[in-house]
Amino acid sequence: MARFDSLDGWLSWQEQFHPRPIDLGLQRVAEVFRRLEPQPGRIPTITVAGTNGKGSCVAYFEAIYRAQGYRVGAYTSPHILKYNERIRVDSQPVPDQDVCAAFERIDAVRGDISLSYFEFGTLAALDIFSRAGVDVRILEVGLGGRLDAVNIVDPDVALVTTIAIDHVDWLGHTEADIGREKAGIFRRATPAVIGDSHAPDSLLQAAREKQADVLQIGRAFDYQKQAEGWDWYTDQLKLQQLPEPVLKGEHQFRNASAVIMAVTCLQARLPVYEAAIRQGLLTAELKGRFQLIAGDPPILLDVGHNPQAVRSLLDYLHGSFQTVKIHAVFAMMKDKDIPGVLAMMRERVAQWYLAPLKNPRAAHEELLEYYFQQLDIGNVNKGYADFAAAFNDARRHALPGELILIFGSFFLVSEYLSQFP
C-alpha cells in the first residue's frame, strides 16, 4: 500500500521527514540507490555543476540531443511552477503518477535509512530515467558537487560552468573552497569540461589530482563572434557561422561552447551531426533567465541571485535596454549576498518595489530596508501585502517604453509566472 496517493502528499512528508533540509553526503543515498537501481545497462551520463549557468547548459544538451533524435532524461532544480519540472523525459515534465510510483519504490527499499527532500528527488529521477529507456541523462548538481546526491552516478562527461561565491554555509567562503567542492564531480580518465576561463586554481588542481581529462575554455576550446554568427573551435575541429544562442546574454556563448565541447567528447557513444548542434542552439528553452514578456512596458524575468549572475544581467540590460528606465520588483533569500547585488544594480534601477515572499528563507522587508539605507539607495516602494500588490504598483508607475524587471530569486519569478501567465 502506497504511503500517499498524491504528489503533494509525498512532497509535504519529505519536507518534514529528514531532520536536515540540506544534508550533504553520499553514504545514505548511495546505499538506497544500490538497492533500488535496476541495471539494464550503463546510460551515458553528463553531470553539470557550477555557480551559474547550469540550467542553460542542461537546456542546450536537451535541445541538441533531442534534435539528433535521442531520448533524453534531464534532472534539474529548483522548479519554478511545478515539482515535475525537475524530472523531464524528452523535455516534458513526467506525470504525477510516475513520480509517485518512483517515490513508492524508493520508500519500499530504503528500510530505516532517512533521506532528504532532494535525495528523494534525485533517486526518483534516476529510477524514472532507467525505466523510460533514455539514451542519455543530464544531471544538474543541486548544491556543490562532491557531496551532492547527483554524485552517486559516475558521469561520462563532467561539466563545471562557473565558480563564484554562493552557498557559503555549505561550500566554503572562498572561490578556492567552492572550486574544490565543484571538482568533486570529476572522475579519473574522464573529460572534465570547464566553461570558466578564470576558474580558481583549486578546481584545476583537484581535476589534476583526480587524473581527469581537463578541457578548459580558452585553452582546449574557445569561440569567436563574427559579423554573422560565431565560430567554435579546438585544435582539431572548427564549427563555423553557428547561429547565435536563443538564450540571451554574452555568457550564453560560453555556456554553449562548453556544451559543444562535452557533446564532442561523447561522439563515440552518442554521435551528433553539426545540424543538430545548430538546431539545439536555436531551440533551447529555459524559464526565468532573461525571459522577456512582450508588452508595453515589457516585463523581464531573471532568477539571478548572486553578483556573478547579476553581472550577466547588467551586461544584457546594457546591450538590449541601455537607455530604458527600469522599475525593479525585487526580493532575495536572506542567505544571499544582498548588498553585493544591490550595489551592482543601484545605478541601473530607477524605482524599486519590495515584494514579500511566503518563504521562511526570504529576506524580510526590514532587512532589505537596512541594506538599501546602508547603500544610500532611494526610490524604494514598500509595504505591500504580497507579490501581486508590488507588481501591480510597478505596472501603474511604468510608462510605455520603460521596463519592469522582476529579479532576485526563483521564488519571485515563480510568483509572477503562476499569477500572471
Question: Which residues share a beta bridge with 223?
Answer: 232
Per DSSP, 307 falls in state: H
Task: Quote the pLDDT of residue 147.
Answer: 84
Task: Quote the pLDDT of residue 39.
Answer: 60
Task: Quote the pLDDT of residue 143.
Answer: 76
Cβ neighbours of residue 259 closer than 8 Å, sequence gap 6 or more: 57, 60, 61, 64, 159
Give the three-class secondary structure for 383: coil
Per DSSP, 287 falls in state: T
- Per-residue pLDDT of the chain (421 residues), as tens digits, is 678 889 999 999 998 887 666 656 789 999 999 998 766 568 999 999 998 899 999 999 999 999 999 999 999 999 999 999 999 999 999 999 999 999 999 999 999 999 999 999 999 999 999 999 999 999 999 876 788 999 999 999 999 998 875 544 444 457 787 888 889 999 999 999 999 999 999 999 999 999 999 999 999 999 999 999 999 999 999 999 999 999 988 899 999 999 999 999 999 999 999 999 999 999 999 999 999 999 999 999 999 888 989 999 999 999 999 999 999 999 999 988 999 999 999 999 999 999 999 888 899 999 999 999 999 999 999 999 999 999 999 999 999 999 999 999 999 999 999 998 7
Give the position of cell 572561490: 175
Q: Which amino acid is at 47?
A: T
Task: Quote the pLDDT of residue 23.
Answer: 59
Cα separation values, 173 from 37, 51, 144, Å: 36, 13, 13
In angstroms, the CA 258 to CA 196 distance is 9
Give the cell for residue 302: 531573471
Cβ atoms of residues 380 and 372 within 8 Å = yes
Domain 7-283 has CATH 3.40.1190.10: yes
What residues does each domain of the chain span? 7-283, 291-419
Cβ atoms of residues 337 and 165 within 8 Å = yes
Q: Which amino acid is at 20?
A: R
Q: Which CATH class is domain 291-419?
A: alpha beta
Cβ atoms of residues 290 and 279 within 8 Å = no
Task: Quote the pLDDT of residue 172.
Answer: 43
Buried b / exposed e over 89-98, threshold 16 CB at 10 Å, is beeebbeeeb
Give the three-class secondary structure for 158: strand
Task: Quote the pLDDT of residue 170.
Answer: 41
105 alpha-carbon distance from chain centroid:
27
Give the three-class secondary structure for 68: coil
